[in-house]
Structure 1
């Protein structure tokens, strides 16, 4: 038998957890409401203790194995009666497909049982059941009432027949009768003794089985008492040691894309610094977490500092688009004199695309193929405020690619700023692996792109925590230059907690 504890906000949610984990035949042992209230609405939490036998749980698990993932979800949402009927059908079908046995008992046992039953019936027949009038014989059969005269006549007839019998046969018959009498008596006594032994054996076996069952229950109760009574199963973060009161905030952080380790660090900080009585108020916990993140998020104070700005990163991360957006922003809104330079001479159409945009913005455009070109270019572009440089999108999986890129970059003494571009659509492991290959270039900050295409923005915090570089700017759409946005801490908090989205939903 398995005994489990479940805790949820409502009794309905707790019973759904019981049904999902233990099946429709689980037995509710206890239920109670927690005395403390939590949340803005002041709802209580319900704790339910349920149990189910091992056999019943195995039947449920066996039935669920016959379903695919989609059908399992439908099964878990089905009513109790439907679940029970489905489990019975699956188990009965499985049993019917098994080879049938003629009998589960050995032939010798069957014969012994038949003999025992015959002996018990004989004992019952031999039992004397006297009634007050005394008209029962030794075999328990009732003697019919007769007249005294008829009895005397029968006695005289029997005496006459006895006189006519031969004298020599009478002793032999009497001897046989006297010899058989003890055997019958001994046989009766043996049958009674065998029946008594069988009865005692059955009672002994039943008593032994009952003792074993009681011992098993005592052991189960003993193990259950050893379990910590504050243990709560199945709430988010339970396996990580997160208390139930903080499970909602833990789940929100994980859903927004913040990875497991960073989420655990945040929740540990909550437990260490926030009073325990405030854990039951998710709004207060979220406010504390927002303040905690604001203190650790880094942003570039002056995103346009320096003259040379190099945009690096793998392909399909929005590197060229970010350069074009920043150039448009500087020209149209900041009124800066800008020049665009391409280092990518291998990708088809790369320099042509940048040249087209340079013509649209009416700014100088150049292509650098060797490092010594920078001295000449620096002289020709002396009157320019900002030079934006588009580096080739390389995977940097070989040393030669890294050396080639280093040779193309402007000299360090020019005060260059290297911006690494990263799409928020990438997985953490892919983003971290690519960024580590570019670390040897010494990029100063990161530009996060494709914010409008994702519902999870936890990579922003994960990337900064991993590499310790500040945020430069965001790419939030395809419009130029409207969708270029300098990074801010408030914007990151808004993305992580979906504050603008929630506000729009409330107004709508």
Structure 2
């Protein structure tokens, strides 16, 4: 008996691996779905333990030795009944050849003859898992296969492993035989009828097995749902987190970690549980410094692009960012012509040069001119009515033309989580980070925390906390979001 465990992400993938490794005669002993606490520590979702008798595994190994890797892949993609018939026919051919060779070699000496008494005793003493694997249904399949399969396996290797073509060839050969030999055609018809009955029986058994597996899966799900009551501290934490609009998926993640790492006494204390939860939340919010603040970019200037959909304080945020660096240039696209009247004010108050461009080529030309004069460029780009492919072409062109380019998505603390999530889903693939405006007027800091979890590849860079004053701009920190969530 040969037993092996298979792991896969889906049930179909696991069954395909079992059919390719152990063959169609394998029996599934155990099926386990990794969910809940176990799923957090397992790489694969499905674990199946399968077994096969040594006799059947030897037959399959003989076939695998004959086939190449490409032939194996195409061969084991067929139906299980077809694979079993071909393996049995190959085994019968090899055994008949071995018997003929032994008779020609030893003559009438009888050196390889079987002792009838020993054979009868051995057949009566077979028991255990091998008898279970070689059940009545398998014997019927073997008998039907012996009556119907008359082709050699070597001829099968020259084919393309297609069931449809093989059936068509059989029909073409059998038509003249019906006219010449009616008796033989009648025998073939009877054998086909018996083969159909056996295949129907096997299909019914497989359907029953599938129903049993579904019921077992439902029972395991119900057992996992029957958990013991939560501790007082954990229950209070869950209630507060839900009131703050924290995602239920993250709440359950914190609860699992708390149950695993904290003792029973610690879980009853709300202060201890909240301290543990705050440590976990601190690690979920990613923050980073902007590209233009890096020391390595002092000599080679940078290009910072702010992008958003609708009015969210993007122009004010860009003015604040440009005021942080000396020798900065602001470039606005044609959609922002309303800021033309404020150009002189921004140049005078912030000592920042401002330009308005009407096309993408003009933006690139003005950016190149500013980079050559050793100035940091800040591009105010709003793409409300543009397709995402056009915006992606614009960003890719900037990155090909200039060395240090950073794209930041501008979000507003006033907007809802659903709207901010829509903006992030649109621009997440081309951006490097996030900036948030109107943080002082935000009514739901939990939405910003949820965005930090779901879009972990985009760290927060800056928070805007007021009017167009440079002092109202602060570097993004996880403490600032947590303080807003818990009103600290």
Whose helix proportion is higher, 1 or 2?
2
Q: TM-score, normalised by structure 1?
A: 0.45
Q: TM-score, normalised by structure 2?
A: 0.47
